[in-house]
């Protein structure tokens, strides 16, 4: 580890990667008095801002507006002759991304953080070299936050013209007439709904027995039912075996229930996850420990090499943007000499489809393996605000430990679920009980009442349920 000249010198920190696992800890360390350098080989903001969370949600919002206009008659509003201007949709997506990226760059500059463009490689425990220029940067601490890249599908025909990954999808120049989406996880279902609502014919293929594997099964089935009603063709337990191309069409061959089936589409999107991006870093040169392709860290986000920390997708685990930020800030605090342990106690997971899906804590299936549980549910069709919005599909589901009333998990499918889940996250972080949640006064009319009433079903009965 590099030594400071004297106790009055600032701690020097190098952050490799400017995504959501990189720029927040850079700002945090700078605010605490560190001299910070951020190295970024591509665009400031990383995957989430440029090729992930932000552009995807912009497209989802455009698709939602188109659907709202289509249904405007429900609200007494007539909108005949509307059309989707695909180029304008993509331009707005680019504008939102650019504005946010510019904002991040201004934040970094405001904290006098040096931004270096280029690819970083580790020379030793305290020195990083910029591949393109040969510049060597020495620091007392290093935080690795290089993110991830799309995983490829190891089957014949999974690469080539017309086969897209998530990056290709977000840069599409025109709307395909038909698309086969391979992978029904969070990204796959969001892509499927965007394309369908903007006018494409969509087939969604998932290897597991439900969409969004790992989610509460009841919620996953409800989401599948919702998007199928919209017109998306969904095949679960579908093992894709090959992709062939003839002229401008692709044929995806998959096996379901032992039978070979096929679907045709103009484009194929492969959305089967992401893997840590450790390219060019030369982690073996400095002896950084890895397990299953990810960097090994302790609960302080420090690697086996003292002074080198890591955060975000490069450490695996829960590969979500808000987790990367929390891990990065934890790393920054420890790099600055504080003692901070990363907690994964109440981590929310969100899907921004319509209906939205959000959850925190244990699924019903996982909870039943360890506890004696009871489950409370409240449907959105019993909520006045949901009726006003004409978004009554879905429910709030609370999984509770029966004896003491500890809330083990909260799962929501319905309008604004990704906003509503924050109440459950805060409550579970503070070890709230079912009774406390049921008796907390909620404003009326709001969607948040559904959380209160779901708890009340297990505590004296919900008012707005028969």
Q: Which residues are catalytic?
A: 444
**Distances from the Cα of 204 to the Cα of 45, 85, 171, 296, 402, angstroms:** 30, 24, 20, 34, 38
Six token digits for residue 329: 């800030």
Count of CB atoms situated within 10 Å of the CB of 429: 12
Nearest to 108 by CA among 201, 39, 193, 159: 39
CA 335 from centroid of its chain's CA atoms: 26
28 exposure class (CB count in 10 Å sphere: 0-12, 13-18, 19+): buried
**Distances from the Cα of 140 to the Cα of 33, 114, 365, 445, angstroms:** 13, 16, 46, 54
Q: Checking DSSP bridges between strand 35-40 and strand 12-16, what pairing results, if any? A: parallel
Region at 211 (left for phi over 0; alpha for psi -120 to 50; beta for the rest):
beta
Nearest to 44 by CA among 31, 56, 27: 27
For helices 449-456 and 417-429, give the axis angle rounded to 10 degrees. 50
């Amino acid at each position: 580890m590099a030594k400071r000249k004297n106790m009055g010198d600032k701690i020097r920190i190098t952050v490799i990667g400017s995504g959501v696992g990189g720029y927040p800890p850079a700002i945090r360390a700078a605010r605490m008095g560190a001299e910070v350098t951020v190295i970024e080989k591509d665009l400031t903001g990383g995957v989430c801002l440029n090729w992930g969370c932000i552009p995807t949600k912009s497209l989802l919002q455009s698709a939602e507006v188109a659907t709202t206009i289509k249904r405007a008659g429900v609200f007494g509003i007539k909108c005949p002759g509307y059309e989707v201007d695909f180029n304008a949709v993509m331009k707005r997506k680019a504008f939102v991304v650019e504005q946010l990226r510019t904002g991040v760059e201004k934040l970094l500059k405001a904290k006098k953080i040096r931004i270096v463009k280029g690819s970083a490689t580790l020379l030793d425990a305290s020195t990083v070299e910029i591949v393109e220029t040969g510049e060597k940067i020495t620091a007392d601490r290093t935080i690795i936050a290089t993110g991830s890249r799309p995983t490829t599908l190891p089957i014949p025909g999974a690469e080539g013209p017309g086969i897209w990954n998530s990056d290709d999808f977000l840069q599409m120049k025109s709307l395909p007439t038909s698309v086969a989406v391979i992978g029904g996880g969070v990204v796959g279902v969001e892509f499927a709904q965007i394309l369908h609502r903007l006018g494409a014919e969509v087939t969604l293929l998932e290897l597991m027995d439900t969409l969004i594997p790992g989610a509460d099964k009841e919620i996953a089935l409800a989401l599948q039912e919702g998007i199928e009603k919209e017109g998306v063709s969904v095949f679960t337990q579908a093992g894709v075996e090959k992709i062939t191309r003839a002229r401008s069409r692709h044929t995806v061959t998959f096996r379901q229930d032992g039978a070979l089936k096929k679907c045709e589409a103009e484009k194929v999107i492969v959305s089967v996850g992401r893997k840590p991006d450790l390219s060019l870093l030369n982690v073996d040169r400095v002896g950084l420990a890895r397990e299953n392709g990810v960097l090994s860290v302790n609960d302080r986000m420090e690697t086996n090499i003292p002074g080198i920390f890591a955060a975000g997708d490069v450490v695996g685990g829960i590969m979500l943007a808000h987790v990367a930020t929390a891990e990065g800030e934890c790393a920054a605090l420890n790099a600055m000499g504080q003692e901070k342990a990363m907690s994964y106690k109440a981590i929310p997971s969100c899907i921004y489809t319509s209906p939205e899906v959000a959850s925190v804590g244990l699924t019903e299936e996982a909870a039943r393996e360890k506890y004696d549980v009871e489950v409370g549910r409240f449907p959105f069709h019993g909520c006045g605000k949901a009726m006003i919005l004409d978004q009554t599909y879905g429910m709030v589901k609370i999984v509770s430990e029966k004896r003491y009333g500890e809330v083990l998990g909260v799962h929501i499918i319905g309008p604004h679920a990704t906003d509503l889940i924050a109440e459950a996250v805060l409550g579970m972080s503070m070890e709230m009980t079912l009774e406390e949640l049921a008796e907390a006064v909620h404003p009326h009319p709001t969607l948040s009442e559904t959380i209160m009433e779901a708890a009340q079903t297990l505590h004296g009965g919900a008012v707005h349920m028969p």
